[in-house]
Structures are given as C-alpha cells and as structure tokens.
Amino acid sequence: MNADNHWHLIPYTIAIAHQKGGVGKTTTALTVGACLAEQKVHTLLIDLDPSLNLTTGVGLPPNLIDETLAEVLLAGTSLENAIRSTSYENLDILPSGPGMVSLSRQLHSRPSYETLLRKLINHQRMSVYEVILIDCPPMLDALTILALSAADLAIIPTQCEYYSLQALESMFRLIRLIRAKNNAQLRYRLLVTMFDRRGKFHARVFELLREHYSNALFKATIGFDTRVRESQMAGIPLTIFSPNCRAAEHYRSLSKELLFYVQKKRSEGA
C-alpha cells in the first residue's frame, strides 16, 4: 500500500482507545502515523483528546489552533480549514483544541451523534487519505463512542499490569455495544506496550494474554524506552527523533504488521 495505490475512496479508519491513561495511546497514534507516512501511506491523524497531546506531538503550538473537529461538527467549519499539514510528508492532522471539551458535552444532545464522524470520514475531502488514526481520550465518553462508531479497527494498547488488564472488560463491553448499535464491522486488536520481556510478571501476564486473546493480539510488542518521553518533550515523532532506538524499531514492526492486516481486510471487503 502506498500513496500511488489507493485501495478505496474511503480511508481505513483506526481508533486507538483505552479507558486508562498512560498506556501509550497517543504515542501509538503518533508513531504509527509517522511510520505509515515513511512508507508513503497518506495518513490523517485525528486528535479527539482535549489534552492536545497528539496535536503538540506533531509540533503544532496550541495557541495557533483555531479550528478543530468541534468547530467542524458544531459550527460548520469546513474540513479544508480544520485539517492542518504537518512538517512530515504524507502526514496531516485534524487537531484538538479547547472546543473539544464542549464537544463532548454537546454531542449527547445531538440525535444519532454516534454517526457524525463516520459521515465526515465519507466526505470527499477525506478520499485523499488511505489511513486515518484517531487518538481517543482516556475515558469511555461521547468522544470515544464517536471514534469507535466510525472505526474499522480499534487498537487497544495495554500494559502487562493488573489495572490495565482490569480495564479491558469495560472496553470489550463498549465494543460489543457499538457493534450491536451502529458499527457491526468494528474489529479490535490488543497491543502490548511498555513491555519488559525480561520481567517475570510481565512475561507471565503476556502469556495469559496470548492464551486468552491469541486471535486479537498483535505479534509486535512495544518495549519500554526512555526515548519515548524525550520525543514527547521535543514535540517530534519517535521514529524521527530517535530513529534507531528500540521502541522506534518496535513501532516499525507494528506498522508493517498493521498494514498487512489492513490489506487483508480490504481484499476480503471487510
């Protein structure tokens, strides 16, 4: 898959979601986006998290952001005005901003709000993208429901830690609800992040994940790497900030596995 070989006029949409913070959602969205862009896959990032971490992660200063998804859905701002180019070829972003907090509150009063983002993704303006990556807030609120209702695939980053695993059942319940209500085709995959393969507890939990979710677990795992935090502080995607670090290589492996998965689903018509 590359920018010269579009499979479909509608981009393949991936939501990165988990109700627990600190599991690597934003890092995954940003780094996978950068990896896909490296492979000449025209990619759009959508930042649904009011914290703006994905937006600042591509180097956009918050004070220069006037238009976000909130303005598109609530005030009729055009996608052309809201989508921003980044400093990286093949990578654009629909940024977050202060209006995202009010968007979450106001969505509940809109009839069938769950389908609003899906309709937006079907817009002709979006046909230039092959993949859309949505960074969800660390809660199962209206914004996460909006993203999952629009997604073909949910990536659920999880650590091999008790509290992270405990929160998975809430994610699975929400996915079942969304499948039943408005997105029967939604699939999910678990991604192990901040993994210490040498740690006995992590290794034991990872084996449990493989035992129970073998068909929904990425083969690639993301190891703990201090360069991730350094890249966040610099506002530069990890694979550009430290291209040869361990986590960057792990994310490249993940991106290749993800592209293979997406190609397979596209060929199946899923």
Inside any domain, residue 139: yes
Length, in residues, of the chain: 270
Q: Are 70 and 100 in contact (CB under 8 A)?
A: yes
d(CA 10, CA 141): 26
Report helix, strand or coil for 134.
Answer: strand
Strand partners, 15: 134, 154
Domain tally, the chain: 1
d(CA 156, CA 153): 10
Inside any domain, residue 116: yes
Model confidence pLDDT, tens digit, residues 35-52: 999 999 999 999 999 999
Nearest to 156 by CA among 237, 213, 85: 213
Nearest to 46 by CA among 8, 97, 109: 97
Mean of all residue pLDDT scores within the chain: 90
d(CA 50, CA 136): 9
The parent domain of residue 92 ranges over: 12-268
Q: How many CB atoms lie within 10 A of CB 62?
A: 12
Model confidence pLDDT, tens digit, residues 147-161: 999 999 999 999 888
Strand partners, 189: 155
CATH of the domain at 116: 3.40.50.300
Model confidence pLDDT, tens digit, residues 235-260: 999 999 999 999 999 999 999 999 99
pTM, entire model:
0.93
Inside any domain, residue 219: yes
Q: Are 59 and 236 in contact (CB under 8 A)?
A: yes
Inside any domain, residue 4: no
Q: Residue 1 — pLDDT band, cuts 50, 70, 90?
A: low
Strand partners, 45: 93, 133
Q: Residue 8 — pLDDT band, cuts 50, 70, 90?
A: low
Inside any domain, residue 184: yes
Inside any domain, residue 2: no
Inside any domain, residue 120: yes
Report helix, strand or coil for 223.
Answer: strand
Residue 269: C-alpha distances to residues 9, 15, 82, 258, 261 (Å) = 13, 19, 30, 16, 12
